[in-house]
């Protein structure tokens, strides 16, 4: 305990309902992105790869009076 979890651990532990994972042209982030998307799929977690889709989801959630928390807050 007291150890920070990485995003893959947080997904595997079922601590999120949705994942937003956008693509990057940087080589060192491609493998991370693939792993995040794969782990999301393996754990039946919806994964959005488009900021337009994520923005639409956030608008819907906000209209339902839900609040979203950042990954920075999840690791605390």
Would you say 15 and 9 are in contact if contact means Cβ atoms under 8 Å apart? no
Mean pLDDT of 5-10: 90
User: What are 10-63's pLDDT values in tens digits?
Assistant: 999 999 998 999 887 777 777 888 999 999 999 999 999 999 998 998 888 888
Residue 11, φ and ψ in degrees, nearest 5: -65, -50
- How far apart CA 17 and CA 27 sit, in angstroms, is 28
pLDDT exceeds cutoff 80 at 73: no
pLDDT at residue 26, as a whole number:
75
Residue 65, φ and ψ in degrees, nearest 5: 70, 25
Domains of the chain: 7-66 (3.40.50.1380)
């Amino acid at each position: 305990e007291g150890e920070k979890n990485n995003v893959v651990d947080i997904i595997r532990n079922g601590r999120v309902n949705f994942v937003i994972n956008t693509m990057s042209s940087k080589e060192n982030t491609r493998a991370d992105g693939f792993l995040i998307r794969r782990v999301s799929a393996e754990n039946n977690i919806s994964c959005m790869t488009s900021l337009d889709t994520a923005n639409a989801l956030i608008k819907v959630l906000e209209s339902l009076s839900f609040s979203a928390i950042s990954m920075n807050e999840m690791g605390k």
